[in-house]
Structure 1
Amino acid sequence: MEHFSGIFFKIASVTMFVAMASCLKATNGTVPSGELVFFRSFFALPVILVWLIWQKKLSTGLTVKSPMGHVWRGLVGTTAMGLSFAGLTLLPLPEFTAIGYTAPLLVVIFAAMFLGEQVGVFRLSAVFVGMVGVMIVLSPRFSTLGNGLAEKEALGALLVLMGACFAALAQVFIRKLVRTERTSAVVFWFSITATILSLFTIPFGWVWPSAWSLVFLVLAGILGGFGQIFLTSSYRLSDASLVAPFEYSSMIMALLVGYFLFDEVPTTIMLSGAGLVMAAGVAIILRERHLGLKRAQQRKVTGPL
């Protein structure tokens, strides 16, 4: 039963994050990305605090053992968020989602580079296939330059890709942090750090949003807070290898939201590239699950060292 609960919370988290992105996109690019980061982070805090109080983890959830680890994770994660939000305002939602799938692929490479994790031929091949898919998604943006709209969309694609790179680095920092820090602390202090860092972008041109934009911005923060809580709950209730593939349900949601709310019709090239990226991601997840089971079996045979 816990497995089904984990899957439910994973899908719920994906739904929240797609809804959050839709709210930010609904501002029609009238709000700078740094300001988007502020609203997304600041208005997630009350939701997270209430959750910690309800879980009776407020005191322990705010305690940290590695302050600088949280700072570095905050810097990298906030950069990823700012770049992604800047690209979101320039791209169709499904394309934004597809390019964002680059992050889990890059985590495999960065984990090998910075954490010393062993990566075999299978996962490297899957990463290669996934990156080919990303190139397919990006190809129309860089082959039709010459008019203002195409150049803006190409810039948006590049920003989202850069955001995915920083998001992958943030995941590497999180893997190190969770060795000593509680997940609740990682979630809370990231929102605090992102809120503070976003204020440094005020000199670059914050605006007073319209009434509707303000509603969407506040709602984006609240939805993001619930998304983080549901995501944390999903991994607490079920194995990561079981719930992780459901991340790709976001593509279905993005296609529906993009079509019905933003009149965005996906191209065959984008869908085929996204399919390759998703297939590569699922292959990596299944391979890591297999390796995890194999390591667990070896520990049972050899016993504790």
Structure 2
Amino acid sequence: MSTIAQRHTSAGLLFILIGVVGISINDLLIKQLSGGYPLHQVVLARSAIALAFILFMVRAEGGLGILKTRQPLLHMARGLLVVIANMTYFVALAVLPLADATALFFVAPLFITALSIPLLGEKVGAMRIAAVMAGFAGVVIMQRPWADSTTLTASRLVMVLPVLSAFAYALMQILTRKLGATTKASAMAVYIQATFILVSLSFFLLAGDGRFADGSDTPSVQFLLRAWVWPARDDLPLLLGLGALAAVSGYCLSQAYRLTDAATVAPFEYVGLPLSVLWGWLFWAEFPAREVWMGIALIAGSGLFVFLREQHKARIIARSAPQQRL
């Protein structure tokens, strides 16, 4: 691995860690707001604020000219995938404990690593594949497919939503890798936030009066379709924080997948697992079940193994490379 490639890998890992921490806090704030606002109103406020932040990044990376693209359909597909990923995940988050929803979503890095082989042509060795399979086993344990539905915290349908979200997210990141060669991270973030705004406004026009939520006492349905309300003064800082986090996290994730191959970056998204446990315990007194702890151990262990394996391979290649005389 060349010095430039090593720098790109290090920068990519730093960006992914910042992005994951931001997303984890974002989930915390959205779950906090899910009892009083419709999802599309929260998303619109978040994206509008985020777009204002991102435009400053666009200026720093070259100005409005970088928003021009020769691949509008791919950017549109990427935006729709991230909307699907967010909507399905947040609807589940209104019902599931934060740690459980995050754990179910964390099949996403496994999807990314697996999809990077056929879609990106990236090479993933047997050891990394084995580690990914161990992480996937951890996700299955967290889902508890053997348990009786009456003992679960939510219906089977709700528990499937984070997995659907994970698959859409994985496809979105694969597109990020393809588009990243010709598109700046800030430009990709603008396209995503613009898509969120358009979808949220469409929801407002169709369901903003709450008529589709009438008669339903299901928290997920209420969160998705309840009527818009004017934000309370105490909630305004939360909405502002959501926008800032969306801008920073979206930029960092795009940069991470632009600079480093997907199979290396993806496992580090597992950092969000212990963070979700911490937030759930601190804010809602949620304590994960034994199966959740077992799954987290397997997933975190597999992610750490992948990282150590990559570092070991890089050192071997560096030692075997011919040394140039100064």
TM-score (norm 1): 0.80
Alpha carbons of structure 1 residues 287 and 174: separation in structure 2 relative to 1, 3 Å: farther
2:189 equivalent to 1:169: no
Number of the residue aligned with 1:40: 46
Instruction: Give the drift of 1:195.
Output: 1.7
Number of the residue aligned with 2:57: 51
Deviates more, 1:91-100 or 1:113-122: 113-122
Deviates more, 1:200-209 or 1:96-105: 200-209
Partners of 2:161 and 2:49 in 1: CA distance = 24
- Superposition map of 1:1-305 within 5 A: 10-53=16-59, 55=60, 57-139=62-144, 143-146=147-150, 150-152=153-155, 154-202=156-204, 203-204=206-207, 205-209=225-229, 210-211=231-232, 212-213=234-235, 215-231=237-253, 247-287=269-309
Instruction: Give the drift of 1:71.
Output: 0.6
RMSD, aligned α-carbons: 3.5
Residues 262-296 of structure 1: CA distance to partner in whole angstroms, max 9, x if unpaired? 11112221011012122223334444566677789
Deviates more, 1:242-251 or 1:10-19: 242-251
Q: Which amino acid aligns with 1:51?
A: M
Deviates more, 1:163-172 or 1:131-140: 131-140
Q: Which amino acid aligns with 1:20?
A: N
SS at match of 1:133: helix
Unaligned runs of 5+ in 2: 1-6, 208-224
Query: Is the CA contact 2:105–2:166 (under 8 Å) kept in the aligned structure 1?
Result: yes
Unaligned runs of 5+ in 1: none
Instruction: Give the drift of 1:30.
Output: 4.1
Instruction: Give the drift of 1:48.
Output: 0.7
Partners of 2:101 and 2:286 in 1: CA distance = 12
Query: Is the CA contact 1:105–1:130 (under 8 Å) kept in the aligned structure 2?
Result: yes
Alpha carbons of structure 1 residues 259 and 194: separation in structure 2 relative to 1, 3 Å: same
Deviates more, 1:229-238 or 1:182-191: 229-238
Partners of 1:128 and 1:4 in 2: CA distance = 25
SS at match of 1:105: helix
Partners of 1:131 and 1:242 in 2: CA distance = 16
Partners of 1:18 and 1:186 in 2: CA distance = 21
Partners of 2:112 and 2:72 in 1: CA distance = 23
Partners of 1:90 and 1:192 in 2: CA distance = 28
Partners of 1:5 and 1:281 in 2: CA distance = 18
Alpha carbons of structure 1 residues 118 and 63: separation in structure 2 relative to 1, 3 Å: same
Number of the residue aligned with 2:219: none
Structure number with larger C-alpha Rg: 2
